[in-house]
Structure 1
Amino acid sequence: MRRFGSHTDDTATIDMTPLIDMVFILLIFFIVATSFVRESGVEVERPQAASAQSKEKVSMLVGVTGAGKVFIEGQEIDIQNVKARMDTFLAEVPAGAVVIVADKSCPTGITVQVLDSCRLAGVKNLSVAAKAGN
């Protein structure tokens, strides 16, 4: 008689709380592990150099095209404004590294002006990008 009198619901339930916790932990891990790099915003063909080395921490890339145009963070800027832009950058990141990515057909004078402007602004860690040669 008891079988017919009381009906119990024995359905299984899944507790979603640990799964949601794990998803949030993974999300936080990937956000923290992601490297945020400022891009020059221009595609250039770098020259080859036998002594080229990989640089791990780059804070800002300055692109110089074959036509002599200067790009920082995807925006074309005038050559006279490079120093002011570096002053602003160094105020945000005092020990920031700058890499100049100049096209191999770029006029040397433009690259030297960009180098000089960065040095005058006080950039200590300054490099010129090149492809590793054989």
Structure 2
Amino acid sequence: MKNIRQRRKLRSGTSEINMTPLIDMVFILLIFFIVTTSFVREAGVEVERPSAQSAETRAKASVILGLTAQGRVFVEGRSLDIRSVRAYMERFLAETPEGSAVVVADKSSHTGTLVQVLDQCRLAGVKAVSVAARKPQ
């Protein structure tokens, strides 16, 4: 009888769940997802893109430059002067050497301004520069 009472006392003791491994695993998963996430830099301006039959979806674009109908250039919600696009893209390429650029131009924007933005990107050293369009429905 004495042996049974001792077992019951041992069983009725408080049991604990060690949370440390669980918390460690959550932090490791959080770090993994933060590191593997690709961050896309948005233009920060809404434009009406022109339509094109040959438009195709690009899987990954590193930086998106927005060009409004008034000729203003936007990157990440900030307005840039056309002359400072080259300096911005050079800084961008220093951070992301294989980066690409997509110019999202309004369909009523001037072609000359679009060409200037494309030229500044090319002069900065961006190898993959494209113009965004939408597929007609």
| Distance (whole Å) between structure 2 residues aligned to residue 57 and residue 33 of structure 1 | 14
Structure 1: segments with no counterpart, 5+ residues: none
Q: 1:30 to 1:52 in 2, by over 3 A?
A: same
Equivalent position of 1:120 in the other structure = 123
Structure 2: segments with no counterpart, 5+ residues: none
Q: Is 1:15 aligned to 2:15, yes or no?
A: no
Q: Is 1:24 aligned to 2:27, yes or no?
A: yes
How big is the shift at 1:82? Answer: 1.6
Equivalent position of 2:106 in the other structure = 103
| Distance (whole Å) between structure 2 residues aligned to residue 126 and residue 70 of structure 1 | 15
Equivalent position of 1:50 in the other structure = 53
| Distance (whole Å) between structure 2 residues aligned to residue 87 and residue 34 of structure 1 | 23
| Amino acid aligned to 2:48 | E
Contact 1:38 1:61 in 2 (8 A): yes
Secondary structure of the structure 1 residue equivalent to 2:22: helix
| Amino acid aligned to 1:71 | F
| Amino acid aligned to 2:63 | M
Identity of aligned residues (%): 62
TM-score by length of 2: 0.82
**Cα root mean square deviation, aligned:** 2.0
- The 5 A counterparts of 1:64-83 are 64-83=67-86
How many pairs are equivalent? Answer: 131
Secondary structure of the structure 1 residue equivalent to 2:130: strand
| Distance (whole Å) between structure 2 residues aligned to residue 42 and residue 55 of structure 1 | 19
